[in-house]
Chains A and B, each alone.
Chain A
Amino acid sequence: MSMVVPVAVVVAYLVLLTFVAVRARAAREFEEFSLAKRALPLALVFGSLAATYVGPGYSIGFVGRGFKSGFLFLGIGLAYALQNILVGLLIAPRLRSLKNCHTLGDAIGQKYDRKCQIVAGIISVGLCAGFSAVMAKAGCVVLNDVFNLPNWSSVAIVVGITALYTTFGGLRASVITDAFQFTAFATLLPVTLLLALVFHLKGGPATFTSQAISATTDGLKATPIIEIVGLVAAFLLGETLIPPYANRALASKTTRVSRNGFILAGIFSAVWFLVMISLGITARSVIPMDIDEDRVLLNLVRSIMPASGYALLLVVLVSVVMSSLDSLLNAGAVAFTQDIVKPFAKLPNGSALNIGRSATIIIAIIASAGAVFVPGIIDGLLICYTIWAPAILPALIIGLWVKHPRPLAGILSMGVGTVVAVMFELIIPYSIGIPAIIPAIALALMAYLLGHSFGSAKKGA
Chain B
Amino acid sequence: MEIFIIVLVVVGALVAIASGIWVAIALGSAISKDDKKRISAGTKDS
Contacts and interface: CB of A to CB of B under 8 A. Distances in A.
Contacts, number: 101
Q: Is the contact region of chain A dominated by helix, strand, or loop, or is it mixed?
A: helix
Interface string B17-46: 101111111110011001000000000000
Interface residues of A, number: 38
B31 A275 contact: no
Contacts of A184: 20
B16 A44 contact: no
Interface residues of B, number: 26
Contact of B12 (A183, A191, A206, A278): A278
B23 A182 contact: yes
B12 A194 contact: no
Contact of A194 (B8, B10, B21, B23): B10
Contacts of B30: 41, 44, 176, 179
Contacts of B10: 194, 197
Contact of A41 (B17, B21, B26, B31): B26
A209 interface: yes
Nearest to A206: B2
Q: Is the contact region of chain B dominated by helix, strand, or loop, or is it mixed?
A: helix
Contact of B15 (A42, A50, A185, A271): A271
B23 A43 contact: yes
B27 A272 contact: no
Contacts of B31: 20, 23-24, 176
Contacts of A204: 6
A179 B21 CA distance: 10
Contacts of B9: 193, 197, 208, 274-275, 278
Contacts of A24: 31, 34
A46 interface: yes
A205 interface: yes
Interface of A: 20, 23-25, 41-44, 46-47, 50, 176, 179-180, 182-187, 189-191, 193-194, 197, 204-206, 208-209, 212, 268, 271-272, 274-275, 278
Return the 7 tightest CB-CB contacts between A and B, nearest first.
Answer: A43-B26, A186-B20, A47-B23, A190-B13, A187-B20, A205-B6, A183-B24
Given A44-B30, A194-B13, 19 more contacts: A20-B27, A24-B34, A43-B23, A43-B25, A44-B26, A46-B19, A176-B27, A179-B23, A182-B20, A183-B20, A183-B23, A186-B23, A187-B16, A197-B6, A205-B5, A271-B19, A275-B9, A275-B13, A278-B12
